[in-house]
Each structure stands twice: as C-alpha cells, then as structure tokens.
Structure 1
Amino acid sequence: MSWGTLRNSGQERELFKRRSFVAIIAIILLTGVLVGRFYYLQIIEHETYATISDRNRLQVQPVPPTRGLIHDRNGVLLAENRPVFSLTVIPEQVSDMDALIEEIRGIVQVRPEDVESFQRRLGERRRPFEPVPLRYHLSESEMARLAVNRHSLPGVETEARLVRYYPYGRLTAHVLGYVGRINEQDASRIDQVAYAGTHYIGKTGLERVYEEELHGEVGYQNVETNARGRVMRVLEREDPTPGRDLTLSLDIRLQQVAHEALGDRRGAIVAINPETGGLLAQVSTPGFDTNKFVTGIDHENYSELRDSLDKPLFNRATRGQYPPGSTIKPMMALAGLASDTVTQSDVVHDPGYYKLPNSSQVFRNWKRGGHGDTTLYDAIVLSSDTYFYKMAYEMGGAEMADYLEHFGFGSVTSLDVSDERAGILPGPQWKRRVHGEPWYPGDSVNMGIGQGYFLSTPMQLAATTSVIANRGARRPPRHLRYIDGDIPARHLLPDVVRPPVEMGEKSDWEYVINAMEDVVHGSNGTARGISPGLNYRMAGKTGTSQVFSLEGEEYDEDEVAERMRDHALFVAFAPADDPEIVVSVLVENGGSGSATAAPVARQVMDAWINGFPEVLTNQAIPGAMENNGPSGRDPQ
C-alpha cells in the first residue's frame, strides 16, 4: 500500500477548519466575558470600588486640640505644653510584635517598664489604627537611628506630641494635680468623638475639675497614605479649637513661701483672700513631682510614693481630717453669745479642770492650776478650756452643731476643689445615725474645745475663719479667677455670699475679733511669741489637737513617739480691721500650736503684707509680673 492511499488531505483540512472555528468562538466568548467583567467593574460598580480605593488611599484623622494653659494671678505659667518626640507602634500593621520590639531594642534603649506599660495599653480599649506609645523623650540621635532603619520597622512611627509640663511640679502638685493617659475607665465616661486623637485627660486637682474648659474641641484632616499606611500628604484640614487658658487666684510666690515655711515637716497651709474667697496658697507637704505621672510613672517610683510613711500623695490641705482643737473657740464664743448661753460679762472660775454636775468625771484644762476667774474675752486670749467646757455643756450638742454648721463645719466649703472632704460636725442626730448611741454630756464638753468626734480640714478652718474676718459673710474658697486672661469666672463660679444665721450683735463680732488680736499682741496671749517686730495687727487663735489621750497621766511630749504627738494648729487673718488674707496652718505631730504653727503663719502673712523677698520676685519665680505695691496684691 502506498503512502498516498493512507493520507486524506481533504479530511485533514476539514478537521483543521472545525478546530479553528471552535477556537475562535472560544476566544470570542472569553473575550466577551472579560470585556463584560471590565464593564461591570469599571462602569456599573465604578462608584463602589472607587470609594473602597479611596478608603485605602485616603483617611480622615482627628487632630487633637492644644490643652489650655494655667497661670497664677500674676501671669506666671504653672502648666504648659512642651513638644516631646515619642516612638509609637500601630499594632494593626505589625505581624510579630515581640520580634518588632526586639528589633527596636537593637536601635534605641527600651526599658522593661516601657514594654510592660506598652503591653498594658495594647490590652486596653482603643480606636483602630491608633498609635500606641512605646518610648517617650527620644533624643536627636535616637530619632536619627530610627529614621535610618524605618524601612525595616513596619507600623513604627516617630512623632512630636505636646505633653503637659509643670514648671513648679512639687509646689503645685496638690493644687493643679496632673494629666495622664486615657485608660479604660476614662474611655467609658468620655465622649469618644470629642476625645478622638487625644491621649491625655485630667486625673486629679484642677486639671480634672476644669477638664472641659482645658481640653478644647477636636479638629480633623483628610490625608493621603501609601500602601503601608504612611501619610503622604494632607488634602484638607479643619483646625481644632484650643482649650481655654485659666488664671488662678493662687500666687506662686506665696505658695513657695508657705512651702518653705513648713520645710520637711508634714503639714498643710491654706491662705484665702476673705473679700473674694480666692485661694492665694494651698500647700500640702511633703509633695511630689507631678511630671513623673504625665507619661506614666514607673512601678519603682510609684511604690516609693505610695508606701512612704509621710504619704506625699495625700492632700492634707483638703483631705486631711483633724480635730480642730482650740481654733474653734472664737466660733464657739460667737455661738454662745448668739444663743444667750453666755454674755460678754460672765465670769467663770477656772481651777484647771471642769467637773460635770452630778458626776465624778473630770475634764482637764491644758494649764495645770487653771486661769482663775475668767471672762469670755480672757478665755479666748488664754485659751481656757474650762470656760468652754462649761459653755458647751450648757449649750448642748444639738445647738452647738446648729450654729457651727453655718460657719461651714461639716460640709464641703470650696467651689472648685474636687477632693475636699467635709470633716465631721458631731451632734446627737449624727451620733445616733453613725454609732447608734445616745449623745452624752461628755460629748458636748469635748466638742466645745474641738475634740472628741469633731474633725475638720485645713481648708475648712481657713474658710470658717474667713467668716469671722468678714464679720459674718461666708464666701466659699475658689481657685479660678479668670478664663482666657480677662473673662471673669463668675459664670462658672458665682460669687456666693451666705451669711450665717443670726450670730449675735455686731458688737459681738468685734468683741471676739479684739480677743483674737490679743491672742497675738496681748501680754498673755497664747501666740504672743510671734508678735515682736510685727508691723500690722493680726487676729489669730492657736490650737492643739490630740492624736491620742492619756488617762490619768500628764502628757509629756518628750516621752511620746514623734508620730503620736499632738498636731499643731493656728488660724489667723490680717490686718485685723480690714483683712486681706486668712491663713490656716496645720503641722502634723508638731506639738504646740503657739510654738510651731503660729510662726509658720507669720512667715506667710509677712510675705503677703510686707512684700516678698527679692530672691523670690526676681530669681525663683521667673516671668512674674512686677509688684503692685509692696506685696503684688490687687482687689481680686
């Protein structure tokens, strides 16, 4: 058989044509499907996929507002914002966080506590793609090393942030408080939209009280990013509204004088302008550096503060509750006169003790042997316990509580101090409610000299003493003076004036004030030791409050452990005829109020009335305005 008889050329051509036709049809169909798909994606679904693309390329980012500043009454900056370079990580852009941290550690120093804090923040609730800080306060060399290695660090950013800074951290710790990072507890109570992009919030003190004014309003910006999420350019921006600046009544020079007057002792000082209620100084010692809390205090430093026996974190001026002791005797005198329990001419024999009628219980005077025949005036000047024992017994607990309540005892006295405690103003109803026991005559006797259940704060003592300085007008203490430099703060803090109930005749007020002057200037006054060289008239009252009592034994300070000694107190205002300043002083375990607390008050008043030492005006307090007269005071 020949080769030609085996091959059929016509049949092969037909087969090739059929196969070519099928291939062309398949190509046409597949091309149609592809074109149709292109049409569907680019024409029909154009807007949908363009939006998705823009979302990947464009982002709306919040722009946090700049926090408002805080100044003292003379314009000295007390709280400012400083730029700090930080290393942050966006967790959503990191596949292996542990490996990334190890790589970062090879470039810059990262402490174990930094990693611990970072891990804790990762576990807290936060917004998606929100950077989490790993290191603060990067140096220029560290910034440069991170920039060189940036290509190998996905999700890592270095950014400049404004961070709160307190130039006088220890001096103002218990007044301003501090800001800290927003945690889960904060996030649950704030408006998430209003705080978008904001990392810090007021935690304590005035930073917390005036958070709404200081925070401002958030802004926004549209940015274009690359595939790795890095910002390439800003397309549109709506600027945030900065927080409002606050001006306080506080004078940082007086704050420093008060702080130095207390020295290393545990105690508190509160100074008030009685005309307005403006707080001129509020000191609690020992203090602490608030700047350590802003970006997160490490465990070692926090434990040291928390566990210290001196309790530096505790605000003694507003939260410390102590028996007021004899500092309440001027208020008790006014209450006795107003209730007709005593008169200005009544004489009580003071043998050095008081014995309840039909009882063997004896209440000792601070002076063994007593003061002899004593008028109410003498009882204030000499601080006779016996006179006030008798008067308190005759008034009774209910009537004493009623009068003392109108001075401000037993309640929060200030308008913008967030952590002030109310103290305890005891009485029959209070004791029945709290202890489930009846009120005994001995309770009244102890209450009459500010002991027993009676507790008050240094802030409260200053506020109640201001009522006497104002001859009856009660103006609650306040820190805030102006907003944004010149807007009076009255719309936030109304000028509240609450006179007490009828507290006797005008002559009674002058009678008590004259006696308080003789406490300082009289030859027998308990605070006469501070009068030499005093070129103005001061009205004051010493006090000593017991930490514990000795039954049947005489108190000997030298034989008692330091932390079990009596607290020293002193309240005063000056000049007595037209007061410009009211001061309350507490020195924990300081012993005698006349020997310990009164000299401290004199240092504070001397600075305010006679003018500050030049070293404070020109060196220690940079940026302070020039004095308006010798003390730098003005009517506010």
Structure 2
Amino acid sequence: MPQPIRIKDHERDARLVRKRVVVGAVAIVLLVCVLISRLYFLQVIQYEYHSTLSENNRVHVQPIPPTRGLIFDRNGVIIADNRPSFSLTMTRERAGAEWRGLLDVIVEVLELSPDDRKLFEKRMRQGRRPFEPVPILFELSEEQIARIAVNQFRLPGVEVVAQLVRHYPLGEHFAHSVGYVGRINEAELKVLDPINYSGTHHIGKTGIERFYEAELHGQVGYEEVETNARGRVSRVLKRTDPLPGKDIRLTLDVQLQKAAEAALAGRRGAVVALDPNNGDVLAMVSQPSFNPNLFVTGIGFKAYAELRDSIDRPLFNRVLRGLYPPGSTIKPAVAVAGLDSGVVTGATRVFDPGFYQLPNYEHKYRNWNRTGDGWVNMEMAIMRSNDTYFYDLAHKLGVDRLGKYLGQFGIGQKVSLDMFEESAGLMPSREWKRARYRQAWYPGETLILGIGQGYMQTTPLQLAQVTALLANQGKWYRPHLAKDVGGVAPVDPSPLPDIRLHDPRSWQQASNGMQQVMHGARGTARKVGDSAVYRIAGKSGTAQVVAIKQGEKYDRSKVQERHRDHALFIGFAPADKPQIAVAVMVENGESGSGVAAPVVKQVLDAWLLGPDGQLKAEYRVPVSDVSSQP
C-alpha cells in the first residue's frame, strides 16, 4: 500500500534555523567576551610583566670586562702586558640543542685535530653564566677568521670576537715569580664575585698574578644593547665603562735576573737576590723554567704532559717550594746565637782532631777535613767551615735555644710578604719529633743541626733572608716582589720584630768570619774572593741528598749524578756597606765553594759594578766611615 506524501513544514524549519542562529550568536558573543577578557588581562593587568619580558628579549645587558693591569720591573721594563687577539666564541643558548654538532663543523672548517675537539667540549661544559659566550679557540689567524666568515650560516651562536689576552714578552724569565693567568675553572667560579667577573674568562693562577688578582683585575663595566631576532646587536642604548686593573711595579730587575740565569749556566737550581736595606727581591731564578704564555689560552695535553713528567721539573718553583738542608750556610747564624747566649765568645777555642765526640759516647761526628784544623776560634771556624767547632757550639746551646734563635732568622716559617706559594720549611724541635715520630730527641741530632743537616729544611728564599739579616744586623724586612701597586707601596700587615742582641758587635764578629771565607788565607772560597774588586762576606755549604755510612768517605764516582750533594752559597756585599744579599742553590752541584760561590760572585758583579768594572760610586764607603768601624 503506498505511503502518504508528507507535506514539508516550513514554519518549523524556520524556527529551527532561528534557534541555531541565536545559539551561534550567543556562542560568538561569549567567545568574543573571552577574547576581550584575555586581551584585557594580558595588555592591562599583566602589562608590566609582558612589557618587561619583551624588553628583555630585545634589550640585553652585556658585561664589559676590565683591562687587566700591567706588570713592570723596577726600571719600567714591561713583564706582563695585554695583546689584542681574535677568539672564537660560542653561546650555547643561541647554538641550540645541537651545539656538539657545531663543534664538529668548526673542527671540519678549520681542519683541527680530535684533541682540539675534546678541548672545545671540555671548555663548553665548564661552569658559565646563561647567554655568556664561551671562548673555545684563541689567537685565530686571518685564514681561520675568513673560513669562519664563509661558513657563518652553518654556525649559529658562533662568533669571532676581538679581546685582549695576557702576554709575557720575556717568556720563561719570570715564570716562577710573576706567574701566569689561565682559564677560570669551576671551583674558582663558585667563589668569585659573579658580577665583577662577568665576561672575564681568565684569572691569576700563580705568582704575582694570583697574589694581586683583585688589584690587577679591575671593575667590570656594562652596556645595554638592542638585539634583533637572531640575537645580533643592532645598537648600544647605554654604556658604563669598566675600571681597568692597577699596574704593578716589581722590585725585580730584568738585567740582574738575566745575569743570574746566565750564572747558573743551565744547571738545575735557584738564585735569590735581596736588598738587605728594604727587603726588595732583586732577582728570583728557578731553573729550569717554562714559557707561561702556553698556559694563558689553554695548554695542549701533550705539551703539558712534557712539562709535568720532565725529570728536571720545570714547573716546580725551587725558590719558594724547594726544601733543602741549609748545610754550613747556617753556621754564621748559629755563631750569632752562641755569642748572644753567652755560651762562647769570639776568643773561645775548640780543638779539632777531625771529629767530635759527645761525652760518654763512642760515635764520632766527622769534620769535613778528616785531618782536623787543630785549635780554632769562631772566626777561623767560619772561615774553614769547621764542623767540629759547630758540633760543640750546638751541644752547648741545646736544641731549644738553637731553635729559638734560628726561628728569629725566619727558619721554619714563611718570611715573604706577597708570595703565597712559599713553603714554611722546618725547624725541628723536641715537640715536633715526638709528634711526628713518637720518639725522644737525641743529643746527636742537636749536633748535626748545628751544621745545617738532619731534619732542618729551608727554602732558598729563607736562606737569602738569613743572609740579609746578617748583612743589616738583624733588621727585619719581609722579602717582597711588589714595589708599588697602582703607585702605592704594599704594607706589611704583620711585621716581624728585629733581632736585638745583647752586644751588637756580635754581628760584626760573624761578618768578619764570613769575610775570611772569601779573603782569608785559608778561606774555603778564597779563589772567588780574590777576583773581586770589593769585599764580600760569604759562606759555603753542601746538603746531602743520600746519607753516607759512619766511617765512609764521599766518593762522587760511586754516586749517581742526581744523588750527589747540593751546592749552596750565601753572601752579601760590599761587606762594609751591604747593598745586596744573595743565596744560591745548585742541585747536585757538590761543591758550595767551587760551584755555587762563582754564581754568587757573578750576581754581585752584575749589581755592584759599573761599565768600567769598578764598584759603582753610590756603593763606595767614604774613608772616614771605614776607619771608624770596629
């Protein structure tokens, strides 16, 4: 049966359409209200937040690192300066997540080695601040700069920038005194002022560079810059200039430093020259040395391994860190202790049969001269370096009194004003031995302290200070390298008391003995002293590297070269008006008088003599002054 045809209801369809239009209109109105509300929230309520965020995306504050202060010698010769250099930097945030891939591209473009690639990644991983460019390659050549420019489209976040890099024009001559700067490591980054060191990538690592880091660094500056969408600077909005670091003038003399190095003639050792009248360090040599420029921009693995593993230890600062028994160079100070304590006088004599024995002991403490020197007084004992006399003197003093006096000379303590690397050395005592070895102190150990052997350990700098105190009769000036910092002389925050003797003439008695070493008929260094046109006060010494059994004699042919005795010598001149005090240590040099004394003489000549080979006029003593001396 056919279905009836349904008639379309136009009125109902119209009502449905109207309902849908109303619903749609309401929905549109609601959405427009939500949009307007959101716009109001973002542009009115959160206006300051988003305007600041937008400004930060457009405007950046960039640090301007200060120019590091320069370092000069006492005569104005530059020792450390800043040289312009082009460096390759990478900003990780702008390089993106694939920054490691960019390192591969850099190595490919510049044709570098895999070791360079490892070094780049190591530098990128070190601690840094957000959006701070990290230098990964220094001292770019013109060809390398051109290659980077051509491939710039492949290297987002990578830029070539010009900056000042530390440079040491005299190379290895002052590596152990001035030191060097290097890249800031993560440990240093944690303790440094994050604001003042913004944009700075290097810091003093050793020597003067480290001790006066705060003064040399300066104060950071800033500039507000506007950047485009790619992060490139379009214009500078505001700039605050940095304050450059202070220049430092050292007490060192370039010419004397070179003369001291030439005197060592390539041998391992140390030379320290002081002005006994003010504590200025005139020369400070530790040989062998190294080129500090290698460390400024990052030394390679192979180059560092060669320095680190060298048997000659060029990185080791022998002047400040080297510990050696002072040997007989300590005898003049022991003589002063004996005179001032009253246990001996200048006329006290001791008979030397070639050895010394303690009462009720069979052990013989040998004199270096096995045949003995017979009856010797103090002056002769110093001149001949007679061990027997000083065994007896040390026994009379006792270890406690001996330690007290030698401590006043700086033995067993740091003596410098501005050399943080200095070792304190060792002045042994009863308490020290009991704490160290849990043993009592033996009388025989006191005897060998009297000739500078045994547990006693000193640095060449300490020996130079002992010499200066003997020269200026106990006036304490701490050895220092900085003559002035920014035009202001450094101040000693903890000055040591002068050595005051009961009878000041004791100083002259010790000096007379030292002069006889150089000019006496039986002086141990007479050959050196006879060639001088001025009077020298000196003392030789040897420091054992390996012990010799009782009764045996030292035979150099049976001892390996690096096991032979160290040669030491101290001296000051002119003896009647001291202007310079020198201490020399030659490793495995064996003879203080034969090897170290000529080095001292050459250093003295370089400082005291004029072009005519005669004593400079300012160092001569008027005849009236000479005649009035005791």
Fold similarity call, TM over 0.5: yes
* Equivalent position SS for 2:80: strand
Partner Cα distance (1:143, 1:415) in 2: 45
2:207 to 205, 208, 214: 205
Q: Residues 217-260 of structure 1, C-alpha deviation per residue, up to 9 Å, x if partnerless?
A: 11111111122222222111111111111111111111111112
Partner Cα distance (1:632, 1:351) in 2: 42
1:350-499 alignment runs, 5 A limit: 350-484=352-486, 486-490=487-491, 493=492, 496=495, 498-499=497-498
1:176 to 175, 178, 182: 178
1:120 to 105, 108, 122: 122
Partner Cα distance (1:408, 1:18) in 2: 105
Q: CA deviation at 1:207?
A: 1.0
Partner of 1:617: none
Partner Cα distance (1:386, 1:542) in 2: 16
* Equivalent position SS for 1:488: coil
Partner Cα distance (1:590, 1:18) in 2: 112
Q: TM-score, normalised by structure 2?
A: 0.92
Partner Cα distance (2:169, 2:466) in 1: 32
* 2:571 is the counterpart of 1:572: yes
Q: CA deviation at 1:320?
A: 0.6
Letter in 1 for 2:66: P
* 2:270 is the counterpart of 1:268: yes
User: Quick check: 94-103 or 212-221, which moved more?
Assistant: 94-103
User: Relative to 1, partners in 2 of residues 1:479 and 1:25: Cα closer, same or farther, differing over 3 Å?
Assistant: same
Partner Cα distance (1:399, 1:98) in 2: 66
2:528 to 527, 530, 538: 530
User: Quick check: 224-233 or 385-394, which moved more?
Assistant: 224-233
User: Quick check: 149-158 or 28-37, which moved more?
Assistant: 28-37
User: Relative to 1, partners in 2 of residues 1:597 and 1:11: Cα closer, same or farther, differing over 3 Å?
Assistant: same
Q: CA deviation at 1:141?
A: 2.1
8 Å contact 2:68–2:218 — kept in the other structure? Answer: yes
8 Å contact 2:104–2:117 — kept in the other structure? Answer: no
Partner Cα distance (2:71, 2:544) in 1: 39
8 Å contact 2:273–2:281 — kept in the other structure? Answer: yes
8 Å contact 2:465–2:479 — kept in the other structure? Answer: yes
* Equivalent position SS for 1:322: coil
8 Å contact 2:224–2:239 — kept in the other structure? Answer: yes
Partner of 1:336: 338
Partner Cα distance (1:323, 1:138) in 2: 49
User: Relative to 1, partners in 2 of residues 1:188 and 1:47: Cα closer, same or farther, differing over 3 Å?
Assistant: closer
Q: CA deviation at 1:631?
A: 9.4
Q: Residues 198-226 of structure 1, C-alpha deviation per residue, up to 9 Å, x if partnerless?
A: 11111111111111111111111111112
Gaps of 5+ in 2: 1-5, 621-630
Letter in 1 for 2:565: D
8 Å contact 1:607–1:613 — kept in the other structure? Answer: no
Percent same amino acid among aligned pairs? Answer: 50
1:592-603 alignment runs, 5 A limit: 592-603=591-602
Letter in 1 for 2:463: L
Gaps of 5+ in 1: 615-628
Partner Cα distance (1:54, 1:227) in 2: 12
* Equivalent position SS for 1:379: helix
Partner Cα distance (1:558, 1:460) in 2: 32
User: Relative to 1, partners in 2 of residues 1:59 and 1:351: Cα closer, same or farther, differing over 3 Å?
Assistant: same
Q: CA deviation at 1:532?
A: 3.4
8 Å contact 2:568–2:586 — kept in the other structure? Answer: yes
8 Å contact 1:568–1:597 — kept in the other structure? Answer: yes
Q: CA deviation at 1:304?
A: 1.0
Q: CA deviation at 1:576?
A: 0.8
Q: CA deviation at 1:395?
A: 1.6
Partner of 1:139: 141
* Equivalent position SS for 1:87: strand
1:46-65 alignment runs, 5 A limit: 46-65=47-66
8 Å contact 1:607–1:631 — kept in the other structure? Answer: no
8 Å contact 1:174–1:283 — kept in the other structure? Answer: yes
User: Relative to 1, partners in 2 of residues 1:402 and 1:339: Cα closer, same or farther, differing over 3 Å?
Assistant: same
User: Relative to 1, partners in 2 of residues 1:150 and 1:631: Cα closer, same or farther, differing over 3 Å?
Assistant: farther
User: Relative to 1, partners in 2 of residues 1:497 and 1:437: Cα closer, same or farther, differing over 3 Å?
Assistant: closer
* Equivalent position SS for 2:171: coil
Partner of 1:245: 247
User: Quick check: 113-122 or 443-452, which moved more?
Assistant: 113-122
8 Å contact 2:68–2:246 — kept in the other structure? Answer: yes
User: Relative to 1, partners in 2 of residues 1:315 and 1:611: Cα closer, same or farther, differing over 3 Å?
Assistant: farther
Letter in 1 for 2:398: G
8 Å contact 1:608–1:631 — kept in the other structure? Answer: no
8 Å contact 1:57–1:224 — kept in the other structure? Answer: yes
Partner of 1:622: none
Partner of 2:545: 547
User: Relative to 1, partners in 2 of residues 1:610 and 1:46: Cα closer, same or farther, differing over 3 Å?
Assistant: same
User: Relative to 1, partners in 2 of residues 1:346 and 1:11: Cα closer, same or farther, differing over 3 Å?
Assistant: closer
Partner Cα distance (2:220, 2:512) in 1: 57
User: Relative to 1, partners in 2 of residues 1:10 and 1:274: Cα closer, same or farther, differing over 3 Å?
Assistant: same
Partner of 2:101: 99
Q: CA deviation at 1:156?
A: 0.8
Partner of 1:512: 510
Partner of 2:304: 302
Q: CA deviation at 1:269?
A: 0.5
User: Relative to 1, partners in 2 of residues 1:21 and 1:281: Cα closer, same or farther, differing over 3 Å?
Assistant: same
User: Quick check: 359-368 or 86-95, which moved more?
Assistant: 86-95
Q: CA deviation at 1:433?
A: 2.3
Partner Cα distance (2:122, 2:196) in 1: 24
Q: CA deviation at 1:29?
A: 5.3
User: Relative to 1, partners in 2 of residues 1:19 and 1:313: Cα closer, same or farther, differing over 3 Å?
Assistant: same
Letter in 1 for 2:385: S
User: Relative to 1, partners in 2 of residues 1:632 and 1:418: Cα closer, same or farther, differing over 3 Å?
Assistant: farther
User: Relative to 1, partners in 2 of residues 1:116 and 1:128: Cα closer, same or farther, differing over 3 Å?
Assistant: same
Q: CA deviation at 1:11?
A: 8.3
8 Å contact 1:516–1:540 — kept in the other structure? Answer: yes
2:160 to 158, 167, 176: 158
Partner Cα distance (1:153, 1:612) in 2: 61
8 Å contact 1:110–1:135 — kept in the other structure? Answer: no
Partner Cα distance (1:495, 1:584) in 2: 24
Q: TM-score, normalised by structure 1?
A: 0.91
CA RMSD of aligned residues (A): 2.4
Q: CA deviation at 1:99?
A: 2.2
Q: Residues 523-577 of structure 1, C-alpha deviation per residue, up to 9 Å, x if partnerless?
A: 2111111123311111110111111222121112233110111100000011111
Partner of 1:232: 234
Partner of 1:587: 586
Partner Cα distance (2:538, 2:218) in 1: 44
2:259 to 243, 257, 260: 257
Partner of 1:557: 556
* Equivalent position SS for 2:433: helix
Q: Residues 566-610 of structure 1, C-alpha deviation per residue, up to 9 Å, x if partnerless?
A: 100000011111111100000000010000000001111101011
* Equivalent position SS for 2:109: coil
Q: CA deviation at 1:95?
A: 2.4
8 Å contact 1:610–1:631 — kept in the other structure? Answer: no
User: Relative to 1, partners in 2 of residues 1:336 and 1:26: Cα closer, same or farther, differing over 3 Å?
Assistant: closer
Letter in 2 for 1:92: E
* Equivalent position SS for 1:269: strand
User: Relative to 1, partners in 2 of residues 1:344 and 1:29: Cα closer, same or farther, differing over 3 Å?
Assistant: closer
8 Å contact 2:124–2:136 — kept in the other structure? Answer: no
Letter in 2 for 1:589: N
Q: Residues 455-476 of structure 1, C-alpha deviation per residue, up to 9 Å, x if partnerless?
A: 1110000001111101121211
Q: Residues 79-127 of structure 1, C-alpha deviation per residue, up to 9 Å, x if partnerless?
A: 1111221111111222212321222223213332322222223333221
8 Å contact 1:610–1:630 — kept in the other structure? Answer: no
